[in-house]
Structure 1
Amino acid sequence: MSGTFVSGMRTMARGAREEPRLFTIAIIGSALYGVGTAASGWLVGRVTERVVVPAVTGSGEAVSTADVWLAGAALMAVTVVTVAAILVRRIWAGMVAFALQARYRRSLARRYLELPLSWHHAHPAGRLLATASSDVEATWQAMFILPFALGVVVLIAVAGVAMAAADPVLAAVGLLVLPALVAANVVYQRRMSPRVTRVQQLRGEVSATAHESFEGSLVVKTLGLADEEVERFAADADRLRAANVAAGRTRGTFDPVIDALPNLGTLAVLVVGTVRAANGAVGVGDLVQIAYLLGLLAFPVRSFGWLLSELPRTVAGDARVQAVLQEEATTPWGDRPAPGTGPLAVAAKDLTYRHPVPATDPLAERPDVPGQFVRRDEAPAPRREAAPALADVTLDVAAGTTVAVVGGTGSGKSTLAGMLVRLVDPTSGQVLLDGVDVRDLAAGEVAGAAALVPQSTFVFDDTVRGNIALGLDADDVPAERRVGDDDVWEALRLARAEDFVRSLPNGLDELVGERGSTLSGGQRQRLALARALVRKPRLLVLDDATSALDPAVERAVLDGLASSGSGTTVVVVAYRPATIALADEVVHLERGRVVDRGPAAEVEARDAGYRHLVTAYARAARDRADEAANKAGMA
């Protein structure tokens, strides 16, 4: 218990420090609730002693109507204060929890975007979504309960003093239930901790599976694998259901015990108190007061069990959240501005890059978390170090020129493209823009000077204008960087997207749907290209960014770029001979290494591997023509 309890309470203390005003108000409300509840028990005893018993037995002084009204008013006043305190406690406790959830979700979103792309490659998107949603919620769920539990401590303290003042013997008999309650809570927490931790782990797995299934829905449908995918998700969901049932069964066993113990204490007080009252050792009012206070403790004391049951979720959720927030992987920036104003000269010196190993669940790496185990047959197998995606790549791209990067699948072209705009940093080596290492540039300088159009086009669920002017049409953007409709139309013209956008019912205001679902693949690529061009980049990197265009449109787009006079250095990952023909020179990559470079004709003449790649389309066309001719001759 101690490890989880201490870790959980440290997290709660951190939350209290981060939201001190809201938490203080919640604690004040909870303390008033404890005092008010204990005061109501004391008042019930006094009213019983001085009003109810004399009125029923006719003993002592006559009870006046004013006495009855005064007793009722006192009870009503205490009740109103207690109810108000409950409202304050509940509302402000909720505000604390929701404020912390919002704070940490913002922090996670910021950290996700700060972390380098290489880190994201090693962390499944579904798990990251689960961390930002269910793990954050689990971390701070206990904040709803903590003020209540602290108020119950005040209630027990005040009620204990009131009971001891009324009759120490009966107070001792009644308060004997407290050690039993503590023992029950300890047992409960020990049994509940591994079950709740398991639930939290499985929630992340279900989220990751669901995200992967939905993202891969096109593949699933085209391969007719819907049933198999449903079964895969159902298996994860069944494991989560079984874990939730196990946790619920434990809680279902615990709740009746917690309900019964205070009632048993009340019963013991009534038995002993009846004997003592008959002997004149205690008054009826004191007996009623002690029994009433013990009865009131039954429900509030359960808050300790609720808190203890949430702390394992707090520890599990916080482990995943902190694993992201404290991640050391980062993209450090310097303080230098991008040099010059014209097209950028690009140099790569001895670039080597290895893809990161996929990350494991951080809980699996934390033996201090009770109940978190990795079965031997589920442990990941030792991973052999893969060959580098790039190895000692050196090249120079003169300012204002166009260079085509050509290579087979897996040769490192996309890795090199991302490295030129600093999506990832090399394992070793340098990328220089106009002679300045990109790691020495200030944050935002690379994005302001260079643009990448990736092979996998992403379009936001926004208007055409919103997708192209993304981040550059807001009022707080400096005037020299802000773009208007004229700039958007010019970028669309260069990307050969102007005609299809004008044909849309709402033009630039047309909503394109999630991931551009209302557009064709070629239209999405042209929007992505326009999004890059509207920024007037000094370096434009096209990572197979025209693959969805037909050859005529592709040629028109590339001719438009070449004739625009925009003063842009272009690095294009290419396959098609028509694309390569527009380049001033080509770089042939093979297995992460530069095997040749120079004018296309010269490289084709001396490099058999390059020649095999660039003539593949022509060979395939000749083979199809020969096959058709042979079939015609046989006919």
Structure 2
Amino acid sequence: MVQGLRVIGVAIRAEPRVFTAAVLSSALYGVTTVGSSWALGWATDHVVLPSFRQGRAGTGTLVVAALLIVGVAVLKAAGVMGRRILAGVMQYRMQARSRRAVTRQYLRLPLAWHHRHPTGQLLSNANSDAEAAWAPLAPLPMAVGVIVMLVTAAGAILLVDPVLALVGFLIFPAIAVLNLIYQRKLSPLAMRAQQLRAEVSEVAHESFDGALVVKTLGREDAEAARFQARADELRDANVLVGRVRGLFDPLLEALPTLGVLAVLLVGSLRLEAHDIAAGDLIQVAYLFTLLAFPIRALGWVLAELPRSVVGWTRVQQVLDATGSMEYGTAALDGPIDGPAKLEVDDVAYGYDPEAPVLSDVSFTVAPGRTVAVVGPTGAGKSTLTQLLARLIDPDRGAVRIDGTDLREVAKGGVSASVALVPQQTFLFDDTVRGNITLGLAVPDETVWAALRLAQADGFVSALPSGLDTRVGERGATLSGGQRQRIALARALVRRPRLLILDDATSSVDPQVEKRILYGLRDGSADSTVIVVAYRMATIALADEVVYLEHGVVAGHGTHERLLARCEGYRNLVTAYEREEAERAALDTDADEEVVA
């Protein structure tokens, strides 16, 4: 409970004015609710009972009673409206604030941190956890306000008849004990249910994100079963929460009712003895019926606290995460529109410190050159491209552009000069133009020039609305090669000084790929090009090759030189041709045996 109250304290400090106004509105509701009991008592003594004795009621007293009851009701309604509206404003503001803070933190944290956290968990932190953290704020102003009602009602009962007050107040110890047992039973169940909500969200997102794999491999039933298992756990946890509430709620309702019955019983005896007036008995009985509501309102807040603590803790784990990417103040020293000089100096990096992916990687690329990065699977090629674009920072060594360490460049400086087209192409559910410009103010002529260089202008022109054609979620209406060419045009339209292609033309026809690379090498003098390549034809187009093996540079030079001097490189790039030759030889031997 202490942690839950601390979370509430954070919200109060963040929104003091809204909270104060909401509590005052709730206090108005509480005071007017108690005031309605006084109005009923006054109407009983001055209108109802005289009417029975005299057979009629005075017009003046009727008007006064009506105005009194209506006036109290109007003030009570105003208090209810203010309380609910302001409580909602406070809750939704805090949820929005948490979501913005979590999202900003996601953008600030380096890619290495995101590699260690599944996407479903991150979505859960920004959505259901932020929502759960501030769930108690909806009933909070009401609970604080009804404390005023509770104190006012208790004071009014004592003033009317101390004896009846003593009888009625006997229920309070019983209610306090019941609430204590209720919270102890409910808290662990509510915490478990909130954790399972996050797990269900993680499984669902993973299944949806991998829909293509699930469907192509026929894993629908397995994924459905995996989701059902988590959903069943969540259902069972919520059922247990519901059972506890279903058991304790009637008891909480019954205790104040028993108190009212005891007050009526004792009050009837005192009324017969002329120790109390009928209006006073009605007022006291009505006030005791009101006492159940403040207790329930406090219970609502206490019931939400365990879930709130879980949500707040999960959000804070994100906000407290370390590993931010720091920026310097330097600018890249090269020409604004000219190709960049790239230096990789003794770079090492590992996702796990005990298992480095790259070690002692060093090479230099002159401005305007096209370099192919080649290596077997797991050699560290994609990791190297992320280092060159400063998506991650090396554990040791430095990556420099025009002599400037990328870690010293001001924020936005690297992305203004470097463009990375990754292996996995992502397109937004937007138009072709929107996917290329991404909000950048670029004239259509420049967009078409980038499309021509990416060999994409032909199929884009053939689309129903050209640049205004929507491509669907993740570019679902386009082929893999078309998506890759759109992604390449997205990079080219920004005229990068260093262009990095991480196997970015793997889905493109070899002839189209050849034209793209020719265009990048010969038709565009503004970029230095780094291309992760596997095809012999692609590699042969590069000015030089960097060959990675086991995370180190095992060879650097022209394609012909590496073929002659580097056995690992030669075996890798000629593997396909050698396999074809071996198959042809086997087929020839088989034919000769048949002839013989």
- TM-score, normalised on structure 1? 0.90
| Superimposed CA distance per residue, residues 330-358 of structure 1 (whole angstroms, 9 cap, x where no aligned partner) | 111111122222222111222221215xx
Partner of 1:349: 345
| Equivalent-residue separation in structure 2 for 1:606 and 1:416 (angstroms) | 24
CA contact (8 A) 1:185 1:304 kept: no
Instruction: Kindly indicate whether residue 562 of structure 2 is the aligned counterpart of residue 603 of structure 1.
Output: yes
Partner of 1:401: 369
| Equivalent-residue separation in structure 2 for 1:486 and 1:600 (angstroms) | 37
Instruction: Kindly indicate whether residue 580 of structure 2 is the aligned counterpart of residue 584 of structure 1.
Output: no
Secondary structure, aligned partner of 1:232:
helix
Instruction: Kindly indicate whether residue 76 of structure 2 is the aligned counterpart of residue 82 of structure 1.
Output: yes
| Equivalent-residue separation in structure 2 for 1:630 and 1:186 (angstroms) | 88
| Equivalent-residue separation in structure 2 for 1:553 and 1:405 (angstroms) | 20
**Shift of residue 219 of structure 1?**
1.4
Partner of 1:269: 263
**Shift of residue 632 of structure 1?**
5.5
| Superimposed CA distance per residue, residues 140-165 of structure 1 (whole angstroms, 9 cap, x where no aligned partner) | 11111101101110100111111111
Partner of 2:293: 299
Partner of 1:468: 436
Partner of 2:571: 612
CA contact (8 A) 1:185 1:308 kept: no
| Equivalent-residue separation in structure 1 for 2:525 and 2:13 (angstroms) | 54
Q: Which of 15, 31, 34 matches 1:35?
A: 31
| Superimposed CA distance per residue, residues 79-135 of structure 1 (whole angstroms, 9 cap, x where no aligned partner) | 111012111111121121112222222222222122111111100001111111111
**Shift of residue 626 of structure 1?**
3.8
Partner of 1:21: 17
Partner of 1:436: 404
Q: How does 1:468-547 map to 2 (within 5 A)?
A: 468-473=436-441, 483-547=442-506
Partner of 1:145: 139
Q: How many residues align?
A: 592
Instruction: Kindly indicate whether residue 116 of structure 2 is the aligned counterpart of residue 122 of structure 1.
Output: yes
Which range moves more in the overlay, 7-16 or 489-498? 7-16
| Superimposed CA distance per residue, residues 540-599 of structure 1 (whole angstroms, 9 cap, x where no aligned partner) | 111111111111011000001012233211111111111111222211111111112112
| Equivalent-residue separation in structure 2 for 1:485 and 1:426 (angstroms) | 38
Partner of 2:272: 278
Which range moves more in the overlay, 333-342 or 249-258? 333-342
| Equivalent-residue separation in structure 1 for 2:281 and 2:104 (angstroms) | 60
CA contact (8 A) 2:109 2:322 kept: no
Q: Which of 56, 59, 72 matches 2:52?
A: 56
Secondary structure, aligned partner of 1:77:
helix
| Equivalent-residue separation in structure 2 for 1:144 and 1:534 (angstroms) | 49
Given the superposition, is the C-alpha separation of residues 54 and 345 from structure 1 closer, same or farther in structure 2, using an over 3 Å criterion? same
| Superimposed CA distance per residue, residues 279-309 of structure 1 (whole angstroms, 9 cap, x where no aligned partner) | 2222222221111011122234211111111
Instruction: Kindly indicate whether residue 347 of structure 2 is the aligned counterpart of residue 335 of structure 1.
Output: no
RMSD: 1.7
Secondary structure, aligned partner of 2:279:
helix
Partner of 1:419: 387
Instruction: Kindly indicate whether residue 516 of structure 2 is the aligned counterpart of residue 557 of structure 1.
Output: yes
CA contact (8 A) 2:369 2:521 kept: no
| Superimposed CA distance per residue, residues 406-445 of structure 1 (whole angstroms, 9 cap, x where no aligned partner) | 1111110000100011111112221111111111111100
Partner of 1:113: 107
| Equivalent-residue separation in structure 2 for 1:116 and 1:444 (angstroms) | 14
Secondary structure, aligned partner of 2:500:
strand
Instruction: Kindly indicate whether residue 3 of structure 2 is the aligned counterpart of residue 7 of structure 1.
Output: yes
Secondary structure, aligned partner of 1:348:
strand
For 1:295, the aligned partner's letter is T
| Equivalent-residue separation in structure 2 for 1:249 and 1:618 (angstroms) | 69
Given the superposition, is the C-alpha separation of residues 604 and 180 from structure 1 closer, same or farther in structure 2, using an over 3 Å criterion? same
| Equivalent-residue separation in structure 1 for 2:34 and 2:64 (angstroms) | 19
Secondary structure, aligned partner of 2:363:
strand
| Equivalent-residue separation in structure 1 for 2:444 and 2:16 (angstroms) | 47
Q: How does 1:85-234 map to 2 (within 5 A)?
A: 85-234=79-228
Secondary structure, aligned partner of 2:134:
helix
Partner of 2:283: 289
CA contact (8 A) 1:536 1:566 kept: no
| Equivalent-residue separation in structure 2 for 1:244 and 1:79 (angstroms) | 38
CA contact (8 A) 1:412 1:589 kept: yes
- TM-score, normalised on structure 2? 0.96
Which range moves more in the overlay, 426-435 or 309-318? 426-435
CA contact (8 A) 2:436 2:493 kept: yes
CA contact (8 A) 1:462 1:512 kept: yes
Q: Which of 249, 260, 265 matches 1:255?
A: 249
Secondary structure, aligned partner of 1:230:
helix
Given the superposition, is the C-alpha separation of residues 632 and 236 from structure 1 closer, same or farther in structure 2, using an over 3 Å criterion? farther
Secondary structure, aligned partner of 1:25:
helix
